[in-house]
Structure 1
Amino acid sequence: MRRPLRSLLPARLLYLLALAGGLAVIAGWYAFGAPGGAHDRYVEGVIGAPSRINPLFARSNDVDADLAALIFSGLTRIDGDGAPRPDLAERWEVTPDGLTYTFRLRPGVLWHDGAALDAADVAFTIAQLQAAGFRGPPALAAQWTGVTVTVADPLTLVIELPAPSAGFLARTALGVLPRHLLTGLDPAQLAASPFNLAPVGSGPYRLAALDARHAGLERYAGHRGGAAALRAIELRFYADRAALEAALAGGDVNAALLAESPTVEGLAAVAARADLAATALVRSGYTMLYLNNQRAPLNDPSLRRAIAAAIDRRALLEGTGGYGAAGDGPIVPGSWAYAPGQWPAPFEADALFDAAAWPRGTDGVRARAGRALALELVTNADPAREALARAVAAQLGEHGARVTVVSVGAAELIARRLEPRDYQLALFGWDTEVDPDPYGAWHSSQIPAPGRNVAGYRDALADLLLEGARVTLDVDERRELYRRLSERFVEHAPSVVLLYPARVYVHPAALTGLTDGLLFAPADRFRGVEGWRLDGGG
């Protein structure tokens, strides 16, 4: 959703902008490439600096991931709804048992140095992940355990899985490495290779300059889909949020992905720039009010449904600034697998509490058998989370539940409360994977730590739906399984999804072509970057 920056600010602050006056727009460039007009180059500020611009290591560094997204490409690419689409592979076939995938690569694809890209490059990349000496993320390597890769011919790759996996194609969006530049390098040495700061990829942009202040990228004329519309993209590096917001306000950059909870001051500073706009990009994650299904009184689904009804999620969203989407179920809106849940409305909450045998006492607090409905809500000591927890407690209080908010450090919340399931209510958030499979969060096998079913939800039908959805390859059948899971989630209310958070992407108002799909990772803001234009130029 694109909005002028002023619309993101509280009305009480807008008058300050009139006093501040216009800010100078200084869109200077560091020297790289041929000079060009403002219509064909893009300057964005980022927090941090690159260390390994390599898709096998980029998960641990957002700047690395940003650059890798522009420089490299994978067999597939992930669309805004999370569905895999062709990229280096123009098509693929899957055997009926779901175990063998045959990919046909596009002919004539070139690396940025002019060498031909073929199936052996893909096999080489996967081999690095499978090598005993791989120094990258263990979770990434684990995705390729037991997978067999065969190069049938230069344009055909056959991948065999040890077991069917409906989410496998999402893994193939991983950027492919150039075998001709890295052959002979021990996998253990790849993490420290000079290649990681002088990468050669096959994506729409090639690295043209890199120093401690910035990275300069120029469009690759030989890109298989045609040259990108923007001639160049520059990423300028800043130490922290304050420095980035100052650079944005001062006109040193014309784009930035703001923090999840951008400061009002930071927004106010840049809102004076009429040349900027903002797009809220919903993340593929959620902020959850966990209800401990294993502990009384929350082991009663009728009480959990009353609690879920009492929480006005749209009001909570507005209270956080309106970024993101109001909570619903275990699948994020915007995903191809999303099905809206039919939740009871807040005005129905009192009747649901009464039906659950928790009537109000003379003091207004609900009670049963002389025991007040008094609950502790624990969250991590973050100002935004604490404010949200207080708002939840206030809403529940309006319906007769007495809720006490307790804040602890994030590490303590996980280690001493969530993992041992030692809580009543807990407010926390998780990021989800590209594939919408919520098995890890809600299947009963994941109740014991370190499983992520911290709510302790146990239901035989939900288990069957989750199990079926992760091995069913037919998209329509899988979507139907998730729709039924959403219905079950509403029926049992194992927890309450409060919000789907968003990041605010500030960019030139003249920018066209920006997509507003889900943000599975910060670098996904560059999805479809080949089609971006400024003032219609190219």
Structure 2
Amino acid sequence: MGRAIRWQAVIAVLGILLLAAILTTTARQITTVAAPSKGGVYREAVVGLPRNINPLFSFANDLDRDLTGMIFQGLVALNDRGEPVPALAESWEISPNQTEYTFKLRSNARWHDGAPVTADDVIFTVGVLQSQEFAQAGQPASIYLSQLWSSVTAEKVDDTTVRFRLQQPLASFLSETTIGILPEHLWKDVPVADMPQSMLNLEPVGTGPWRLAGIDAVGARLEPNPYWRGAAPLLDGIEFRFYPDYASAFAAFQAGEVDGVSRILPQDLPAAEESDTMSVLSAPLANETLLFFNLTDPNVAFLAEKPVRQALWLALDVPALLETALNGQAIPADGPIMPGTWAYAAPPRPATDVARANQLLTEAGWVDSDGDGVRDNGDNSLSFTLLGDDPVLLAALADQWKAIGVWAKP
């Protein structure tokens, strides 16, 4: 999810903050009620290229997820408190034993091509999720979704009603129904195994407030959905301009080529704050940076040793990482549930303890026998390579682990 550091780890989770820079204006100090004006096209710089604008295959790409979220809808959506609210389904009922969920679809819901949304679309989408081919799609999210939905029985009650039967109660089930629904009439002839490579992924047809008007190597253009029955978008359009990296995206914003940028790297934050023509706003984003231990690679077999993992965890100073690597633009998270949601409860976290970390390694037989600053045990040394897409954060991690005789190459 997001910027996963693929090496291997203790779960040290950092919630990354979205930074948005906008042009500033001045105003007189008079009492007014601000109202947005209608019209215009918003241009935003984004990094990368879309590959799968498809709610079932968009998990590995931030841009895919952003576009998918604007173009597709699930049966329900989550509000800013993580609570379910109607989306494609206008209402739902839950059985007393919490194992049956009956959803009533909006009767006026239509796909971007004008075709009506029916229960067949929902049944088709669930069928894809339950297929063995989907489970083998190669994404961790595919395995999870397949396992979840394989135990659910989906039934078409009528053209606008679907019922799900669970083998046992699942508190998160309503949240799972936020996954976008696919149009059966467009996807039914595509084998599930071929779906990730289908051109339909770059010609998405959804039910959301925005539909794709065009896409090329330079960018993607969205226009309001004419069949949308919710609050109509005020903009005439949205353009996403594609850039190879965050530095060039920020440079395009500074040059006035775009109206906004999807993200500002922490190292660019001082330049943004010093600008006379923009102000920087920070808002929490449900994104995480995860550290994983590679427990199966024989070249780093020591990572399978519990004392080594415990030592690496105890040596981490997460607040210091937030300040040095992320300019304070992140919050520490204590697990997979993000702060601010209804289900969050802060569990106790062991404090940073470098002395205890050193003790654990020494007791496990890892000592610096040759005085080079790196612990070793026989012919093996505590050294490995970190994999990830944030060099500043990787360098900060490596620097902290030097204190316990571990050499990590960013």
Q: TM-score, normalised by structure 1?
A: 0.55
1:330 and 1:183 map into 2 onto residues whose CA distance is: 35
2:230 and 2:392 map into 1 onto residues whose CA distance is: 45
2:174 and 2:290 map into 1 onto residues whose CA distance is: 27
Task: Give the CA deviation at 1:101.
Answer: 1.6
1:83 and 1:379 map into 2 onto residues whose CA distance is: 42
SS of equivalent to 2:174: helix
How has the CA–CA distance of structure 1 residues 171 and 293 changed in structure 2, closer, same or farther, with 3 Å as cutoff?
Answer: same
Q: Is the 8 A contact 2:317 2:400 kept in 1?
A: no
Q: Is the 8 A contact 2:273 2:280 kept in 1?
A: no
Q: Deviations over 1:348-392 (max 9, x none)?
A: x89xx8xx9x9xxxxxx989x999997968775344233245347
Give the aligned residue type for 1:404.
G
Task: Give the CA deviation at 1:288.
Answer: 6.2
Which range moved further: 92-101 or 235-244?
Answer: 92-101
| Equivalent residue runs for 1:205-354 within 5 Å | 205-258=210-263, 262=265, 264-265=267-268, 268=271, 272=275, 274-285=277-288, 295=306, 313-320=318-325, 321-328=327-334, 331-341=337-347
How has the CA–CA distance of structure 1 residues 267 and 250 changed in structure 2, closer, same or farther, with 3 Å as cutoff?
Answer: farther
Give the aligned residue type for 2:53.
I
Identity score, percent:
35
Give the aligned residue type for 1:216.
R
Is residue 2:390 matched to residue 1:390? Answer: no
How has the CA–CA distance of structure 1 residues 174 and 332 changed in structure 2, closer, same or farther, with 3 Å as cutoff?
Answer: closer
SS of equivalent to 1:384: helix
Q: Is the 8 A contact 2:20 2:263 kept in 1?
A: no
Q: TM-score, normalised by structure 2?
A: 0.70
2:367 and 2:284 map into 1 onto residues whose CA distance is: 37
Q: Is the 8 A contact 2:38 2:235 kept in 1?
A: no
2:210 and 2:385 map into 1 onto residues whose CA distance is: 40
Q: Which has the higher contact order (CA 8 A, sep 6+)?
A: 2
Match of 1:18 in 2: none
Q: Is the 8 A contact 1:148 1:160 kept in 2?
A: yes
Give the aligned residue type for 2:407.
V
Task: Give the CA deviation at 1:298.
Answer: 9.0
Match of 1:178 in 2: 183
2:191 and 2:335 map into 1 onto residues whose CA distance is: 45
Q: Is the 8 A contact 1:129 1:141 kept in 2?
A: yes
How has the CA–CA distance of structure 1 residues 249 and 338 changed in structure 2, closer, same or farther, with 3 Å as cutoff?
Answer: same
Task: Give the CA deviation at 1:341.
Answer: 4.3
2:159 and 2:170 map into 1 onto residues whose CA distance is: 26
Task: Give the CA deviation at 1:188.
Answer: 3.9
Task: Give the CA deviation at 1:74.
Answer: 0.6
Q: Is the 8 A contact 1:74 1:174 kept in 2?
A: yes
Q: Is the 8 A contact 2:47 2:243 kept in 1?
A: yes
5+ residue gaps, structure 2, are 1-16, 24-36, 294-302, 369-374, 376-381
Give the aligned residue type for 1:385.
L
1:131 and 1:297 map into 2 onto residues whose CA distance is: 39
Task: Give the CA deviation at 1:83.
Answer: 3.7
| Equivalent residue runs for 1:414-453 within 5 Å | none
- Please tell me the root mean square deviation across aligned C-alpha atoms, in Å: 4.2
Give the aligned residue type for 2:249.
L
Q: Deviations over 1:178-225 (max 9, x none)?
A: 223334444344444443222221001011122221111011243131
2:323 and 2:133 map into 1 onto residues whose CA distance is: 49
How has the CA–CA distance of structure 1 residues 173 and 209 changed in structure 2, closer, same or farther, with 3 Å as cutoff?
Answer: same
Q: Is the 8 A contact 1:249 1:270 kept in 2?
A: no
SS of equivalent to 1:144: helix
SS of equivalent to 1:73: coil
Task: Give the CA deviation at 1:142.
Answer: 3.3
How has the CA–CA distance of structure 1 residues 275 and 64 changed in structure 2, closer, same or farther, with 3 Å as cutoff?
Answer: same
How has the CA–CA distance of structure 1 residues 392 and 99 changed in structure 2, closer, same or farther, with 3 Å as cutoff?
Answer: same
2:191 and 2:307 map into 1 onto residues whose CA distance is: 55
